[in-house]
Structure 1
Amino acid sequence: MTLEKQKTTIIFAVPALLMVTAFLGNLFVEGWNWSLSDFIIAAVLLFGTAFFINLVIRSRKTLISKLLVCFVILLVLALVWIELAVGIFGTPFGGS
């Protein structure tokens, strides 16, 4: 069984690996042109999501309610990310 500290490490390692992958992609992939603000926004979104998922996992709720809340958090992350990337909702800060 994993300890709480190990769970937290795993939860925050995922966004860190995604950020490293994005940084390497920005260096070596043609057409991948993220600015510093893109990296800051991605880090806030990914690490903020990890923080809230960590809070949910540490709560004393049932497994089903934890899974449901984590699913909603990940859904919100996906919708915000998609909106910032391509602007599916037509907000002023949507991409493209």
Structure 2
Amino acid sequence: MTQKQKTVLIYATPAVLLCIPLWGNRFSEEFDWSPVDFVIGAVLLFGTAFIIDLIQRIIKNKTHKTLLIGAILLLLLLVWAELAVGIFGTPFAGS
């Protein structure tokens, strides 16, 4: 896989993930995302994609690269869960 293909895949993934709640809002009453929710989701997902792209380009050691990407994805999941349901009870929790 070339670097250009990796970059396209890295940035296409957040776009595809954001299509899920978009379709859900359109066709289901159970989804209730506001435009602000989409902006926050896009910032989180595309910001993570940008950081992963930087790691892919800068870090040469495959082990370090894998560990850093894993840590970034774990951080994304924790922030997303906190915003969604407030697992840590911080002031910006979603519930």
Which interval holds the TM-score relative to the shorter structure? Answer: over 0.9
Q: Give the stretch that moved more between structures: 82-91 or 52-61.
A: 52-61
1:58-87 CA-to-partner distances (Å, cap 9, x unmatched) read: 114310000000000000000000000000
With over 3 angstroms needed to count, the CA separation of the structure-2 counterparts of 1:22 and 1:78, relative to structure 1, is: same
2:52 — aligned with what?
A: 53
**Residue in 2 aligned with 1:70?**
69
Task: Calculate the TM-score normalised by the size of structure 2.
Answer: 0.95
Question: Which ranges of structure 2 fall in alignment gaps of 5 or more residues?
Answer: none
Aligned length: 95
Q: CA deviation at 1:30?
A: 1.9
Name the CA distance, whole Å, in 2 between partners of 1:35 and 1:60. 37
Alignment map for 1:9-20 (pairs within 5 Å)? 9-20=8-19
After TM superposition, which residue ranges in structure 1, 4 or more long, deviate above 6 angstroms? none
| Distance (Å, rounded) in 2 between the aligned partners of 1:36 and 1:64 | 38
Instruction: Give 5+ residue unaligned stretches, structure 1.
Output: none
Aligned-pair distance for 1:45?
A: 0.3
Q: TM-score, normalised by structure 1?
A: 0.94
Root-mean-square deviation (CA), in Å?
0.9
